[in-house]
Structure 1
Amino acid sequence: MLPSMPGAVAGIGTDIAVVSRFEAAFKRFGLRFAQRILGPGELQVFERRRARDPARGTRYLATRFAAKEAFSKAIGLGLHSPMSWTRMETLNAPGGKPQVKLNGILADWYAERFGAAHVSVSDEKDMVIAFVLVESKSA
């Protein structure tokens, strides 16, 4: 059975990032760098992945950064308030599907203007990509 059709598209965004830039920044600034980008749920996942495999942790950080950039483009704000890196999280559902979770004033601002948000992230060696589609608010 196919899922129901989404509402009209209100915005799309995409972003590509180079993993080595995140490796360099993390080496320079340490955990503070990750804390500036990741929301609370993402930070927990990052720390677990990094503990098992530092390269996997860095790719996670890069994909989440790309998702935040793509989301900010899809909603038309860039990184202007109420959008901030830590207020938008990309967390995986139990089956692994990435999902958008919004925090704080961004969640309220978004709910007044838009419907569902869909996110996809992918990584390959030194490159990551994220794509976000934001639906119009239902009538």
Structure 2
Amino acid sequence: MIYGIGTDICDVRRIATSLERHGERFAQKVLADGEMAAWRDRSARWPDRGLRYLATRFSAKEAFSKAIGLGMRMPMTWRHCEVAKLATGQPVIVLHGALKDWFEARGLTAHLSVTDETDYAASFCVVEKIEAKLGSSA
């Protein structure tokens, strides 16, 4: 059963302005530790890709926060929500701390899609409530 749906579009130029204004502190506010390492690596090799990586993570977390119905308020925090990827490249939400506990206590699972172009990053998130399967009785 669908619990919530969230979508977000992010102007990459806005993220660039925030980085120029606040430097790496902006990325540290938005990115979890694993994301931070990937962002630094990409930014060092391809600054534009690093910028779009940060924008897609920002957008994905906004979409997720909308899908769970909390917005950016506790237990939803930027750093407790991580966007990772499977070996296939599929993006996945990995939760930490109180947000993970809150999410699991409700029996939820998330599905995520992210995309970016030169000036925009967009994300779509569907959160489902996992329904208990009834066992068969004989």
Q: Same fold (TM over 0.5)?
A: yes
Runs of 4+ in 1 over 3 A off after TM superposition: none
Which residue of structure 1 aligns with residue 80 of structure 2? 87
- TM-score scaled by structure 2? 0.93
Which residue of structure 2 aligns with residue 110 of structure 1? 103
Give the counterpart of 2:68 among 62, 68, 75: 75
Which residue of structure 1 aligns with residue 114 of structure 2? 121
Q: Which runs of 5+ in 2 are unaligned?
A: 133-138
Name the CA distance, whole Å, in 2 between partners of 1:78 and 1:135: 17
Structure 1 residue 19 and structure 2 residue 12: aligned? yes
Residue aligned with 1:86, SS: coil
CA RMSD of aligned residues (A): 0.8
- TM-score scaled by structure 1? 0.92
Q: Supply the AA of the counterpart residue of 2:109.
A: A
Q: Which runs of 5+ in 1 are unaligned?
A: 1-7
Q: Supply the AA of the counterpart residue of 2:63.
A: A
Name the CA distance, whole Å, in 2 between partners of 1:81 and 1:103: 13
Give the counterpart of 1:62 among 55, 63, 72: 55
Which residue of structure 2 aligns with residue 138 of structure 1? 131
Bigger CA radius of gyration = 2
